[in-house]
Every structure is written in C-alpha cells, then in structure tokens.
C-alpha cells in the first residue's frame, strides 16, 4: 500500500458563525471524523470545483431521481 505524503501542519484560526460550527459538528459526527477533516475535505472539493471551472468545465449534479442541474460559480 502506498504511503501518504506527510506535509507540515500549520495551526490556523478562523472566525466562523455559530451556524457554520454546528454544520461542521454535524458533518463530523455523521462522517465519524473531526471538524478539521471536514474542513480539509471542503477545501479540496472547492479546489476541484475551481480547477474544473477555470478550465472551462462544468459541475453537473444528478439526484437519485435523475434530475440534473449545473452548479454555477458562487
């Protein structure tokens, strides 16, 4: 199994509303992980979206009923 790259961790402080912190807590509990991990995943997802859109691509979402919609930059 390949080893994960280790990167230097930098402690950062961010200001979040109480509502956002509650969402982070809920997501972390639902996923069985930490709020830090949820934030890492969110940043990677945002980077992916940004990269696709920067190259002229589109982000398309389909729900379980087959309804399709395009995410637009926000």
Summarize pLDDT for 17-62 with one digit per residue, the tens: 999 999 999 999 999 999 999 999 999 999 999 999 999 999 999 9
Q: Which two tokens stand for residue 32?
A: 């069985």
The answer to the question of residue 9 being in a domain is: no
| Residue 49 structural domain | 18-71
Count each helix (H run) and each strand (E run) in the chain, helices first: 2, 2
Domain count, the chain: 1
- Give 6 or 32, the one with higher predicted confidence: 32
- At residue 7 the predicted structure's pLDDT band, cuts being 50, 70 and 90, is confident
The Cα angle at residue 72 between residues 38 and 62, in degrees rounded to 5: 75
The answer to the question of residue 4 being in a domain is: no
What pLDDT is recorded for position 1? 60
């Amino acid at each position: 199994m390949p080893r994960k790259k280790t990167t230097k961790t930098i402690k950062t402080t961010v200001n979040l509303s109480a509502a956002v912190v509650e969402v982070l807590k809920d997501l972390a509990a639902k996923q069985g992980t930490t709020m830090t991990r949820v934030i890492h995943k969110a940043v990677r997802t945002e980077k992916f979206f940004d990269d696709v859109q920067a190259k002229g691509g589109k982000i398309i979402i389909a729900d379980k009923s087959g309804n399709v919609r395009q995410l637009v930059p926000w």
